[in-house]
Chains A and B, each alone.
Chain A
Amino acid sequence: MTPTSTRSAPTRSHSFIGIPSRPRIQELRDEMLSEERVVSVEQALITTRVYAAHPDEPVIVRRALALAQALQELNIVIHPRELIVGNRTAQVRAGVVSPEAGSSWVDREIESLPTRPQDRFAVDAQTITAFRTQISPAWKGLSLEDVIRDRCGASIDEIDKVVKINQKDHAQGHICPDLTRWLTLGPAGLKAEADSALSNATGDAADFYRSVSIVMGAAQAFLLRYAQLAHTMSAQETNPERQADLDTVGKALDHIAVEAPSSFHEAVQSTWMLFVLLHAESNASSFSPGRLDRILEPYYQHDLDAGTLSREGALELIECLWLKFNSIVYLRNQNSAKYFAGFPIGFNIAIGGQDENGDDVANDLSFLFLAAQAHLGLPQPNLSVRLHKGTKDELLTEAIHVVARGSGMPQFFNDSSVIPALIALGIPEREARDYAIVGCVELTTQGNNLGWSDAAMFNLNKVLELTLTGGIDLLTGKQIGPNFGTLREYEKYEDLEAAFAAMIDHYTELMIAACDVVDRTHADILPSPLLSSVIDGCLEKGVDVTRGGAIHNLSGIQMIQAASLADSLASIKTLIYDAKKLTADQMMSALEADFEGFEVEQAIMLNKAPKYGNDNPEVDAAAAKWASYFAAGLKKYVNARGGKYHTGMYTVSAHVPMGQNVGASPDGRNARQPLADGGLSPVYGRDMTGPTAVLHTVSRLDNTLTSNGGLLNMKFLPEFFASESNVDKFSTFMRAFIDLEIPHVQFNVVRREDLIAAQAHPDQYRSLTVRVAGYTAYFVELAGDLQNEIIARTTQSL
């Protein structure tokens, strides 16, 4: 029982996975997934028109007016079986163009959107014509994308093999709004706050409050449009069951447009509408609900106590919301889609964990959320379980049962690592304990923090390459960086380290300069009054969130990728300086040739040097040392909003394109091959000592290095979850994970396809172990017929 909530004490079994989904869920799911993704310029046309009509208004007001007009004009749709309604387009999963953020890239890529390699969208001729004639010309030189290019495009290009600067052609996103504030005040209450502040405000603050007032008035009208549509549809509906649904939906919307939710259904509807509105304003990745089990629990418990809601009914509403989280995706440019492949839209929900006093918060909703994930198995929401010493076995076990289903969710966060890391960043303890996650794994305080968590990715492996070559790009032979020496010249390992440090400093300086311009340009071009109204600090200060209105203003830089770096450094140190199995010239010649004709040298680098991920303190220390060096270097900078830079260790899918930028490396990796995935994970197949050794390795990284988020991927065969006894052992494994203070882990259950892939690419699966009855073996070392037998058995067990 938690002191802050006297009604949430679990008193009986909380496994709700056994409650069947209601029929409408399957119907809605199938309908949503069968709809083609299309490009939509509907809102872009409105925005372009409104900007043109108000040339003399400040940018923030133009943006507010454009959003308001869109909320009034956009086609809206209610599907007859929906209980939770709303979207920013009439279509589901449409790719919305926001020309104020980026239109030049759309101009370049619009024809290729249906055929590009990653994240395709259909686009019709009419849309292309509308874009080319009415939208694109109006934004030439004026969009965020173009302004950033004018201001610092050349310097971003100069460093782009080393640093990827993000958020250059879209709004920032990556934020956890104060959902409780929204639920309590609603659009009417927030508008009233802005109006009241406006009467005493002048200058920028007056523009800001006026803009908030405009968008909140429009938000209220938007809710009422949906209410009206529901009533109209109800009047025409002949099926009494559907009519009743539509009436419920209409009444809920009528109510939340003017007052705080009075039921769980209304609270869920209101929650979803906030995210629709945020996407309508920003069209950005990763607006995250945060600790939704905690936030919605009072509404749930109220209805349960009043007898107006059953657990089955709650689950149905939750599943309707879950489907909605899958109905918005986000249109990225082709390059960005490589780094963030597969629509990680980032509706991240954190369940469980500690409250402000350190007590466990898990409640019925935590379990219902897990059940919804188990039933639907869809990519959104990104479900995260916060673990701590006080996490009850019941929740952990249930989460493992959901993991065993193989959707990769939930992922796990560790309070014992995250909370101290946030406190070390200067976050007050109570707020740190109430942390949530945005996007994939980015850590945030709730409702008051523009974390700018994907500011940039810094490729430490490319920096090492330039340190070995004297600034020459191994892929092109061109001089792209400064010459601080070469491996052939460094007499001692320490000489290499000194040059590496200097090279890191050099690129850090250039990266920060670019981040600073991007940050300021967002403030100039994309002020976000609607978002600001639900980020604590902005309304109080009268300052837009993009200008530093939030209470916390961070910028997160991702280090790519510690495991690959540690392996390369261990190889250099062991083979050249310690054991002297290779000369510097042999190694460099091998790298320059991408190992062609140097197969023996490559084998030595792969096999005769220790590797990260095997609980080898020396290698692991190299990863920790350089990650710490990089993070310390950021401390001297302040971002454009007056906040700190800090670091994360996660890649999303960036280890692939980042690897494409790096030549052959001393760890034995061929040119252009992927780097280690995850961010904390070892290179594929190099963790030969088992999962516990991986955890020990990762635990050697100081948890302040991942205050912006860390990501550890692990793979297990389905057999690990096959019996309750193994689930218990897995739970034991997770308890040690908590004690080892590792920030994050997510599990992929190895599928039949993976085993087939392992037959084809044994080098990438060297660490995959299988157990049948008597002993454990490495899968790739088994004879083909035995591999086939295991594949056949794996199919059966799923």
Chain B
Amino acid sequence: MTPSHPDVVGSGVAAPLPTHTPTDDALATVVDIRRFSIHDGAGIRTTVFLKGCPLACVWCQNPETISPRIEPVFFPKTCIGCGKCVEKSSNGEAIRDSDGAIAIDTTAQGNWQAIIDACPTGAIRWNATSYRIPELVELLLRDRPFFRNGGGVTLSGGEPLFRPKVAIELLRQLHAQHVDTAIETALHVKTSAIAEAAEHLDTIFADIKIFDSIKHAAAIGRGNSLVLENIHYLLTSSHREKVVVRTPLIPGYTTDPENIRAIGHYLRSLNPDVRWELLNYNPLAGAKYDQVPDREFAYAAGKNPPLYTEDEMKEFRDLARSTGVRRIVEQ
């Protein structure tokens, strides 16, 4: 929703061309740094959203983080229609349409840096910033005075382990500074990456969304064998106490009682004392899809289901508890 404004807030490295996929392991691709996060783990945290994810859930809450590329993004509400972008456009990137409004085709090739520099309002921005890891660590530690009573840094995304070397180095440097670390991972990554990252993590929020691999593939783009393998690894490893399993409640996709039961039974078989959290559906995500032209949200406009009520959430938790998993996280 709110990428950093590279020329205002961060001192990030100048963004490369949009078609460029960062591969330099010294550079992290950051969509946002969210300070005073009070929902992504214990205490007051700084959450960094890293770009790139191997999965593509149709309900994704941060669809702009799926692509690993740094791309231009347009916020029409912020545009004042000055047309400075049109002046810099050579390939149909920015045009003034017949009713006078500015239309931006963020998929077009062009001189986006010049267009973004020319935009006086920031309506056109890069949707991520590259940071050198030590520089990013410095930014993430800015709130150190607030990292008490369990607070610290959370890696989110995207899939933070999409570029494992970047994430692991980031975690290593944070841990070396005695900062509490957490990660929010969808687990569709190599087990060796999980294992190495876990050495530098205090809390691992690990998603299992859909237990049936075919349904998983239909909604998410890939089967879940790697996810289940990684859960198996985590819950049987020495890191088992760090794990909080999460299942997002996506109406019609993950909320089938059979799905909840199957996940629960699997978890119980590995470790009945694992913490398991059911996350309420977040209807706000739909608003972000305007900024991601090549992706479509799970629900059509007007069909977006509401949040579950507290009573409904309690029913879900009771269902989860009935599977024999003993530590259902209450929100």
- A: which residues have CB within 8 A of B? 599-601, 603-604, 606-611, 614-616, 688-693, 696, 720, 726, 728-729, 732-733, 735-736, 739-740, 762, 771-778, 780-783, 786, 789
A777, B284: Cβ atoms closer than 8 Å: yes
CA distance A610 to B5 in the complex (A): 10
Binds A, one of B38-46, B170-178, B192-200: B38-46
- Name the distance in Å between A273's Cβ and chain B's nearest Cβ: 45
Contact A615 B146 (CB under 8 A): no
Q: What residues of B have a CB within 8 angstroms of the CB of A608 in the complex? A: 7-8, 120, 122
Min CB gap A766→B, angstroms = 10
- Would you give 29 A-B contacts (Cβ < 8 Å), ordered by A? A600-B120, A603-B82, A603-B120, A608-B7, A610-B9, A614-B9, A688-B8, A689-B35, A693-B35, A696-B142, A729-B44, A732-B43, A732-B149, A735-B148, A739-B145, A740-B145, A771-B39, A772-B282, A774-B284, A774-B285, A775-B1, A775-B62, A775-B284, A775-B285, A776-B39, A777-B287, A781-B77, A786-B283, A786-B284
Which residues in window 1-54 of B have CB below 8 A to A?
Answer: 1-2, 5, 7-9, 34-39, 43-44
Main secondary structure of the interface of A (DSSP, over half): helix
Q: In the assembled complex, how far is the CB of residue B148 from the closest CB belonging to chain A, in whole angstroms? A: 6
Contact A690:B34 (CB < 8 A) given known A773-B307, A777-B1: yes
B80 interfacial by beta-carbon distance below 8 Å? yes
* B121 CB within 8 Å of chain A: yes
Please name all residues of chain A whose beta carbon is closer than 8 Å to the beta carbon of B143 when the two chains form the complex.
692, 696
Contact A603 B121 (CB under 8 A): yes
Q: Report the separation of the CA atoms of residues A775 and B62 in the bound assembly, to the nearest whole angstrom.
A: 9
Cβ contacts under 8 Å, A599 to chain B: 80, 82
Distance between A769 CB and nearest chain B CB, rounded to angstroms = 9
Q: Are A778 and B43 in contact (CB under 8 A)?
A: no
The answer to whether A774 touches B248, judged by C-beta atoms less than 8 angstroms apart, is yes
Main secondary structure of the interface of B (DSSP, over half): loop
Q: Which B residues lie at the A interface, using CB under 8 A?
A: 1-2, 5, 7-9, 34-39, 43-44, 61-62, 75, 77, 80, 82, 84, 120-122, 142-143, 145-146, 148-149, 151, 248, 279-287, 306-307
A600 with B82, Cβ < 8 A, contacts A607-B8, A692-B35, A692-B36 known: yes
Q: Name which residue of chain A comes closest to B77, CB basis.
A: A781
Given contacts A599-B80, A782-B287, A720 and B38 within 8 Å (CB-CB)? yes
The contact of A691 among B2, B36, B82, by CB within 8 Å, is B36
CB distance from A776 to the nearest CB of B (A): 6
CB-based closest 7 A-B pairs: A603-B120, A774-B282, A773-B282, A736-B145, A690-B36, A690-B35, A773-B280
A772 contacts B146, C-beta separation under 8 Å: no
Cα distance, A512 to B258, chains bound together (Å): 79
For the complex, give the distance between the alpha carbons of A696 and B146 in Å. 11
Q: Determine the distance from Cα of A701 to Cα of B226 in the docked complex, in whole angstroms.
A: 52
Among B148, B284, B285, B306, chain A packs the most CB atoms within 10 A around the CB of B284
Report how far A777 CA is from B287 CA in the complex, Å.
10
Q: Please, which residue of chain A has its CB at the minimum distance from the CB of B302?
A: A785
Taken together as a complex, chains A and B put the C-alpha atoms of A674 and B271 apart, in Å, by 59
Nearest A residue to B306, CB-CB: A789
B241 to chain A, nearest CB (A): 20
B284 x A603 contact (CB < 8 A): no
Contact A732 B146, CB 8 Å, known A600-B82, A610-B8: yes
Asked whether, in the complex, the Cβ of A726 is within 8 Å of the Cβ of B38, the reply is yes
Select which of A610, A689, A740, A781 is within 8 A of B75 by beta carbon: A781
Known contacts: A688-B9, A692-B44, A775-B1. The answer to whether A729 contacts B121 by CB under 8 A is no
Residues of B within 8 A of A696 (CB): 142-143
Complex CA gap A777/B2 in Å reads: 7
- Report the Cα distance A736→B61, complex, angstroms: 31
Instruction: Give the docked Cα–Cα distance between A452 and B146 (Å).
Output: 37
Chain B nearest CB from A277 CB (Å) reads 46
Q: How far is the CB of A697 from chain B (nearest CB, A)?
A: 11
When C-beta atoms are compared, the residue in chain B nearest to A720 turns out to be B38
Given A603-B121, A604-B120, A729-B44, A781 and B39 touching (CB < 8 A)? no
Q: CA–CA, A614 to B142, complex, Å? A: 11
Q: Which residues of A contact B286 (CB under 8 A)?
A: 786
CB neighbours (8 Å) of A740 from chain B are 145
B149 & A728 in contact (Cβ 8 Å cutoff): yes
Chain A positions within 8 Å of B82 at CB level = 599-600, 603
Cα distance A729–B40 when bound, in Å? 12
Q: Beyond A614-B9, A777-B284: 11 further Cβ-contacts under 8 Å?
A: A608-B120, A688-B9, A690-B35, A693-B142, A720-B38, A728-B149, A732-B43, A735-B148, A736-B44, A736-B148, A776-B1
Distance to closest chain B CB from A774 (angstroms)? 4
- B281: A residues at CB distance < 8 A: 773
User: CB-CB < 8 A to A778: which residues of B?
Assistant: 1-2
Report whether A600 and B84 are in contact in the complex, using a CB–CB cutoff of 8 Å. yes
Which residues of chain A are near B8, meaning CB under 8 Å? 607-611, 614, 688
- Given contacts A599-B82, A692-B143, A775-B284, whether A729 and B38 have CB atoms under 8 Å apart is yes
Is the pair A781, B120 in contact by a Cβ cutoff of 8 Å? no
* Min CB gap B259→A, angstroms: 19
Bound-state Cα–Cα, A736 to B36, Å: 12
**Which chain B positions have C-beta within 8 A of A609?**
8
Contact partners of A776 in chain B: CB under 8 A: 1, 34, 37, 39
Instruction: Kindly name the residue among A728, A762, A774, A789 whose own CB sees the greatest number of chain B CB atoms within 10 A.
Output: A774
